[in-house]
Amino acid sequence: MKLSPLALGLSLALYAASGYAAAATNATHGADSAPAPATSTSSSPAQPTDNDASDDNDSRNRRPNKVKQLGAVDVNAALDQARNALSPDTGSSQYVITAQNIQALPLGDSTPLNQVLLQAPGVVQDSYGQLHVRGDHANLQYRIDGVLLPESISGFGQTLDARLIQNVKLLDGALPAQYGDRTAAVVDITTKSGAEMGNGGSVGITGGSFGTINPYASIWGHSGNWSYFFTGNYMENNVGIENPTRSRDPIHDRTNQVKGFGDISYVVNNDTRLSFLFGVTNNRFQIPNNPSQTPNFGYLDVTHFNSANLNERQDEQTRFGMVTLQSKFGDTSYQVSVGQRFSGLQYYPDDIGDLMFNGVAGQINQGDRASTLQADFATPWGGSHTLRYGLYYEFDRATTSTNSLVFPTNPDGSQASTVPFNISTGDRILAKTEALYLQDEWDISDTLTLNYGLRGDRYTAFREESQLSPRVGLLWQATDSTTVHAGYSRYFTPPQTELISTENIEAFANTTNAVKNYGNNTPLTERSNYFDVGVQQSIGSDWTLGLDEYYRKVDRLQDLGQFGTALVYSTFNYKYGRVRGTEFTLSYNHGPLTAYFNGAYSRAMGKDVITSQYNFGAAELAYIADNWIHLDHDQKLTSSGGVTYAITDNTKVGTDYLFGSGLRQEGLVPNGLSLPYYFQLNFDVSHDFNFDSIGKIHTQLALINALDRSFRLRSGTGIGVGAPQYGPRRGLYLTLQKDF
């Protein structure tokens, strides 16, 4: 394929300016021939007309078609496309994973959402199911059908189930003004719909190694103007949290988890739809034990405690519901949503064991209730412009109640008595998040689009902070096969609301849970400037590749750390931060074979801790004040990839992998060393059996970590790092599913 001189010249200029050719604009791994999701194999979806368009495989290299408004099903398709049009598609990077791609993963629809997102470029795995995108700690925004879902309290349970996903887009880079608050990446989920899938359902079970049992069921359909989709599952196993040792079988690590999701829609007329979506999650975990640890404190007349016998537990709950009205007023399309999310966490210590090892046994009960209002509008203007504007409001009411057993100490900090006593503390935090945005998408020509806008944010909790944030993004369709994007965004990222207050710190003075009370104990809002430039190239009809380069300069960089015994994270700030990286994507799709490869380089650095200094030692603070250090979640090299081959229509084989050069650990300086690299290889084979009596049964056999390589995600050292955590050991899992 020969590029035009202008396209080639621009590509070379971008390479010279950045040191790399840049890109990954909408690099969609997998494609039209990827295995169809098992949940739709026996259903009867409405057949699309020539003008129907699913956005699953849309890219900037081909614009989606218009949708005719005909029957109720076609109206739903038109409304889906109108909803998508509320969000601009310029400036930022985009990676799409479809339901077919998820089904092609070794565990199929039983794959946890965080493992699904690890198939995207620049996404790094961490312990407790955490994800880091482009050098950020958490800071992910989740949207379901265009509606923002407020984040849950920090923990390690998965809230959303992959079975509800029709496609999920990971948006990052220089985001348009529409996106704020959590800006490391936007996880934009489009849910499955009974209007598209017809009437049907599925039941199944996944089971296998480590006592894994995961039964599930889904049902969907439509009747007249109504459509619905429901899914629910139960899961239990013996590896709820990463093992703190290399052993194959962790000690005291059982979990049971219940998840449910529903989406009900009613088409009022050709332009109006009313929807209600809801979800519930209830997860229970044992905290795994690390044997052969030495107690640090005495308890009454007890001087020895076997750490393998600790009995610590943590429960997590999330419930949310959103009511959404989508319609038109003249030429203006809009969507308005109101909702509420409750998130709760309870940590139950082993009183004697926690006292002897940590000097504190604190029973923690956290809750956060968020009420939200979101409105988005799009108005065509002057033939070549689309104005988009809207607002977001969130009111959080967060509470924390802790009952702690501690020992008294002498003036030098040594234990003064082996008799514990109780301290009760509590916080009540009210926080408001308010945002307005206005942006214009200007089609300068058939090949050049400029999106520019302004966003205003205000966050009020312990103090009021606000910012006006300009955004600009440029999209150039250089040739039919070459797309270039570039963008700049100013970001404003408020802290999370579950914080430790000064009063709680002072309550533990002269005890074995005391910390030095110095510095500013209230985290600050992060402010940053983000630059992103990229190019995507299609080669023939089978290959798509891209490169993307980004740089972020940060003031008051936010980070999270586990500083207590419970697996709850606390926010702190570095005065300065700088993050840069490069991502490469490659996908292939031809006939029965689909393949994808992602590679990423990243460096994330911070300097001078300016809030929550009580979590650090004096020597650590002094060093960080004068020197740049790696953030604890910084991973230099990350890669993922996979291959799927359809032997027949009923039989498919596949493999995928994850590679990382390792997160950070303590060295001669804070976070001075990198953990060893890791490589996890997975295999799967699936086959659909046809029986005369019961019809089709889908089976899928997965071998996870086939090489059984034991690798550390965390060593237990580094800033804000708790116990060691190891990746999964080899496991064999079988899925049986019946569609109806």
388-419: pLDDT as tens digits: 999 999 999 999 899 999 999 999 989 999 99
Name the pLDDT band for 288 (thresholds 50, 70, 90). Answer: very high
For residue 297, the model assigns a pLDDT of 96
For residue 118, the model assigns a pLDDT of 95
For residue 2, the model assigns a pLDDT of 39
For residue 156, the model assigns a pLDDT of 59
Nearest one of 81, 64, 87 to 270, comparing CA atoms = 81
Most confident of 146-160, 485-499, 625-639: 625-639
Tell me how far apart the alpha carbons of residues 15 and 458 are, in angstroms, rounded to a whole number: 38
For residue 500, the model assigns a pLDDT of 55
**Residue 317: how many CB atoms within 10 A of its CB?**
21
Q: Which two tokens stand for residue 401?
A: 């109640």
Instruction: State mean pLDDT over 436-460.
Output: 96
Tell me how far apart the alpha carbons of residues 92 and 486 are, in angstroms, rounded to a whole number: 7
pLDDT by residue (tens digit) across 720-739?
A: 888 899 999 999 999 999 99
Q: Which of 466-475, 605-614, 634-643 has the lowest mean pLDDT?
A: 605-614
Q: Residues of the chain with pLDDT > 70: what percent?
A: 87
Output the pTM of the full model. Answer: 0.87
Q: Which of 67-81, 114-128, 639-653 has the lowest mean pLDDT?
A: 67-81
The distance in angstroms from the start CA to the end CA of the chain is 46
Listing DSSP states for 503-526 in one string gives: HHHHHTTTBTT-----S--S---E
639: burial class by Cβ within 10 Å (0-12, 13-18, 19+)? middle
Name the pLDDT band for 567 (thresholds 50, 70, 90). Answer: low
Q: Which two tokens stand for residue 504?
A: 């709680």
Name the pLDDT band for 568 (thresholds 50, 70, 90). Answer: low
pLDDT higher at 684 or 612: 684
pLDDT by residue (tens digit) across 505-559?
A: 788 889 998 877 667 878 899 999 999 999 999 999 999 999 999 999 999 999 9
pLDDT by residue (tens digit) across 198-257?
A: 999 999 999 999 999 999 999 999 999 999 999 999 999 999 999 999 999 999 999 999
For residue 70, the model assigns a pLDDT of 40
Would the CA dihedral through 38, 44, 45, 49 be positive or negative?
A: positive
**Residue 223: how many CB atoms within 10 A of its CB?**
10
Please check the confidence at residue 7 and state whether its pLDDT lies above 70.
no
Instruction: State mean pLDDT over 439-451.
Output: 95
Name the pLDDT band for 3 (thresholds 50, 70, 90). Answer: very low
Tell me how far apart the alpha carbons of residues 414 and 410 are, in angstroms, rounded to a whole number: 5
Nearest one of 260, 264, 290, 284 to 275, comparing CA atoms = 264
Q: Which of 27-36, 488-497, 555-564 has the lowest mean pLDDT?
A: 27-36
CB-based contact 206:183 (threshold 8 Å): no
The CATH topology of domain 16-739 is Maltoporin; Chain A (2.40.170)
Q: Which two tokens stand for residue 359?
A: 């000097």
* Residue 10, phi then psi, degrees to nearest 5: -65, -40
CB-based contact 406:359 (threshold 8 Å): yes
Q: Which of 404-408, 423-427, 656-660 has the lowest mean pLDDT?
A: 423-427
Amino acid letter, residue 512 = T
